[in-house]
Amino acid sequence: METVVLTFDQNKAILELNRPQALNAMDVQMLHELVDALRKIKESDASVVVIRGRGRGFSAGGDIKTMLAVDDPNQFQTVMNTIREMIMLLYTMPKITVSLIHGPAAGLGFSFALASDYLIATKEARLAMNFIGIGLIPDGGGHFFLAQRVGTAKAKQIIWEGKPMSADEAQQLGLIDFIVEDEQQAEQAIASLQEKPLQAMIATKMLYVEQTKEDLLRVLELETDAQQRMRQTEDHREGVRAFLEKRKPVFGGR
């Protein structure tokens, strides 16, 4: 594996996103490697999983250049199926999962983090469900996870606004569970978690997973269908042009 690094430390698995030169944006290779790593973690003896990004941030989201290259509908479906498997593996993981966020966590990167049981952020973290900026909708189960945490009405507003949030703003909304000063304090929080009766915690988690996993699967399917439609719109094409030209998009609702 090149774009992810997986290590084990006693009862803890550490999964690191490793494209620091691209702010850990998720290209096709990383998506496949994340699926492989999550499968290995699922079969391991680890009880706690920590996910973090190397470099200046957690993940800037889906790699735009990669996504622009996916013109074939069959290829697009393959990518979305990989995202679905990645998200379902993390959400249904019979472990306690923690996403440790520093710097940007945006788009698909934010959806991926939200699939964890705990989100811990440093003060400089910036979070955004920013698909709207290129005329798309959240994928990776973003609709499901936001609604779980803040309710449907607020989830819609967060998606429609697409603006970056500070760690404090995200915590006030209920999107972040803990804010830490630095990595050392984050490690202390994780060490405290490891001292809890983890098997009882996991049993509670899996009870809720059994109640909700079909709902998440359905949302992932709906997101795939809607995302394919949005990719054909003039607003999406304008959003991409504006992104590449580093200017404000001019949307026409088409």
pLDDT at 79 over 70: yes
Three-state secondary structure call for residue 50: strand
Domain ranges of the chain: 4-181
pLDDT in tens, 203-253: 999 999 999 999 999 999 999 999 999 999 999 989 988 888 889 999 998
The whole-number pLDDT of residue 71 equals 65
C-alpha 237/C-alpha 252 separation (Å) is 11
The whole-number pLDDT of residue 195 equals 92
C-alpha 52/C-alpha 59 separation (Å) is 9
In this prediction, residue 10 has a pLDDT band, given cuts at 50, 70 and 90, of confident
Burial per residue of 169-200, b for 16 or more beta-carbon CB atoms within 10 angstroms, e otherwise: ebbebebbbebbeeeeebeeebeebeeeebee
pLDDT at 68 over 80: no
Side-chain-side CA neighbours of 35 within 13 Å: the count stands at 14
C-alpha 164/C-alpha 66 separation (Å) is 23
The whole-number pLDDT of residue 129 equals 96
- Write out the CATH class of domain 4-181: alpha beta
H-helix segments, the chain: 28-43, 64-69, 73-91, 108-114, 142-150, 152-161, 167-173, 183-194, 198-230, 234-245
Question: What does the DSSP assignment read for 175-230?
Answer: S-SEEESSHHHHHHHHHHHHTS-HHHHHHHHHHHHHHHHHHHHHHHHHHHHHHHHH
Inter-CA distances, 60 with 4, 72, 83, 172, Å: 15, 24, 15, 22
Residue 193 phi, psi dihedral angles, 5° rounding: -60, -40
C-alpha 254/C-alpha 123 separation (Å) is 38
pLDDT in tens, 110-166: 999 999 999 999 999 999 999 999 999 999 999 999 999 999 999 999 999 999 999
The phi-psi region of residue 74 (left if phi > 0; otherwise alpha if psi is between -120 and 50; otherwise beta) is alpha
In this prediction, residue 63 has a pLDDT band, given cuts at 50, 70 and 90, of confident
The number of residues in the chain equals 254
- Contact (Cβ atoms closer than 8 angstroms) between residue 142 and residue 85: no
Query: Which value, to the nearest 10 degrees, does the dihedral of the CA atoms of residues 154, 60, 122, 38 take?
Result: 90
